[in-house]
Structure 1
Amino acid sequence: MHKLFSFLAFYLFTSTLLCGQSLFNGLNLDGWYMDVPDLEKDSSQREPFIVREGMLVSLGTPMGHLITLSEFENYILEVEYRFPGEPGNCGVLVHASTPRVLYNMFPKSIEIQMMHENAGDFWCIGENIEVPEMEKRRGPKEDWGVIEGKERRIRNLTVDSEKPLGEWNTMKIECHQDEITVWINGDLVNKGYNATARKGKIAIQAEGAEVEFRKIILRQNN
């Protein structure tokens, strides 16, 4: 019996390593909390994050973030998402920490953009990251920064990696030490280094457009 229990424990441990940890259980938002400034001003507004037909849905408005309770470091995050209606803006934030450091809404973090036709861009939000050919992809060096009014966007490497509207996209984000690498539907779309943060929470945006998520899986990458 002891050997059986040992085998089962080993099997569960190795399965978790291989398959990863689902950050969304398909039933509710356990493990997450919302930071939505407009809800604090008017609690009668709808909550912008819901569970619908087993999917996590960002309704887009009121704008804000759904943030994990836990912090993570050195991991691979795989997200499957789609815009079910009109295309628009959304994003996954990694290494999120201090709340509302930008425009009194965005937490300190590095955003991996999901905006239609721009998926895989980096946006620096109080944190910074570098890529090759920085001036080509970020603009003149004197304009760079991580606060309001500065050039915070670092453009991705491809123009045709997203699926047609309504179809599911797979975004894979690898965070390892001070590097962040992003794939969209198997294409390498961005790779940065010298990130000023190496760990933090993970956040999903409500930023104007409705987005459905059917998978949010995290695997450790030590």
Structure 2
Amino acid sequence: MKQLFQFLFIVSVFTSCQSSSKSRHQSISLFNGKDLSGWHIDVPEMDTNKLAQSPFLVRDGQLISLGKPGGHLITDRRYKDYTLEVEYRFVGKPGNCGVLVHASTPRILYKMFPKSVEVQMMHENAGDFWCIGEDITVTDMEKRRGPKENWGVTEGKGRRILNLNDGAEKPLGEWNHMKVECKGNSVRVWVNGQLTNEGYHCTASEGQIALQAEGAEVAFRKVALYR
């Protein structure tokens, strides 16, 4: 009988650990491959131009950012303490795009960009941080952000923080994997398995997630969040 109780106890502990592990690694797909459910579009030009069409659509099971007109695709929900994974590639000519984390107040920068920290996807600059109304600290700040007196989070200020290593991107046309880990007030970024940026003391620790339309056509085949 004693051995039976010991066996049941071990099974109970194992089951509890398995359940806890699953809850810690819960996967949430932010893109269902069919439509833009769970997202909303914020494209300033669409406010006044009745002929303007959304730059965000679903094509062949992929989420497409056409690049123009400029704007953002923003999650309806806010998120905190997560790892975001996206798989993306430039469809034609390389250009600019980005993933925004901790997004909140819309259009605070250049009447288009929401308050956030941008993780850059621009070709040959993947992994840079751009501060948009929020701020973040990295090692070697002056080397990677420029003179301290120019730092800021609004128009005309030193908002760009260079990544740790260019060259992590795959050749044009191939799929890139980007992982963004947001834990508390820290943000870490990997591009194709290489740690490309790491920041701390971020002025935000939660918010919406946004994808950009900023000039170049980009396809996303995965947008998933893990907790």
Q: Same fold (TM over 0.5)?
A: yes
Aligned residue in 1 for 2:119: 112
Aligned residue in 2 for 1:212: 219
Aligned residue in 1 for 2:160: 153
1:130 aligns with 2:163: no
Question: How many pairs align?
Answer: 211
Quote the offset at 1:60 in angstroms.
0.1
1:28 aligns with 2:28: no
* 3-state SS, counterpart of residue 60 of structure 1: coil
Match of 1:72 among 79, 82, 85: 79
Deviations 1:164-215 (A, max 9, x none): 0000000000000000000000000000000000000000000000000000
Q: How does 1:166-181 map to 2 (within 5 A)?
A: 166-181=173-188
Q: Percent identity?
A: 62
Q: Which piece of structure 1 moves more, 147-156 or 15-24?
A: 15-24
Quote the offset at 1:19 in angstroms.
5.7
Unaligned runs of 5+ in 1: 1-10
TM-score (norm 2): 0.90
Quote the offset at 1:46 in angstroms.
1.6
Quote the offset at 1:13 in angstroms.
8.9
Quote the offset at 1:45 in angstroms.
1.3
Unaligned runs of 5+ in 2: 1-17
Q: CA RMSD in A?
A: 1.6
Counterpart residue identity of residue 224, structure 2 = I
In 2, Cα distance between equivalents of 1:155 and 1:49? 28
Counterpart residue identity of residue 58, structure 2 = V
In our comparison, the structure showing a higher alpha carbon Rg is: 2
* 3-state SS, counterpart of residue 135 of structure 1: helix
1:57 aligns with 2:57: no
1:84 aligns with 2:94: no
